[in-house]
């Protein structure tokens, strides 16, 4: 059996602690890089989804505006027929 002196034991403890901190740092760095790339991809995907949603909602609002304009025209026509004597009807 090998007998280690006290300085050798402290050197081994230091080497072990340094290697453990190095592995923790490397693991943390890898995880951080992976997380950043995933977040970047998610950000791009969400941006494209919101752009598509914005376009769809704008199209729906435009169709509703057209429907309301037609409804307004129809109501004005009915108003003129029902109240021909009203000054603003013509």
List pLDDT tens digits, range 32-69.
Answer: 999 999 999 999 999 999 999 999 999 999 999 888 88
Question: What whole-number distance in Å separates Cα of residue 17 and Cα of residue 6?
Answer: 16
Give the Cα separation of 84 and 79 in Å (integer): 8
What tens digit of pLDDT does each residue of 7-38 get? 999 999 999 999 999 999 999 999 999 999 99
What is the value of pTM for the model shown? Answer: 0.48
> What is the mean predicted confidence (pLDDT) over 71-85?
86
Residue with tokens 């003129």: 80
Residue with tokens 């995907």: 45
Domain definitions of the chain by residue range: 11-89
Cβ–Cβ < 8 Å for 71, 79: no
């Amino acid at each position: 059996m090998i007998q280690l002196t006290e300085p050798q034991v402290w050197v081994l403890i230091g080497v072990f602690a340094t290697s453990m901190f190095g592995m923790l740092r490397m693991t943390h760095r890898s995880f951080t890089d992976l997380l950043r790339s995933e977040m970047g991809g998610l950000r791009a995907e969400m941006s494209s989804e919101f752009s598509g949603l914005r376009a769809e909602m704008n199209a729906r609002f435009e169709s509703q505006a057209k429907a309301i304009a037609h409804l307004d025209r129809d109501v004005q026509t009915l108003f003129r027929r029902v109240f021909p004597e009203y000054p603003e009807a013509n």
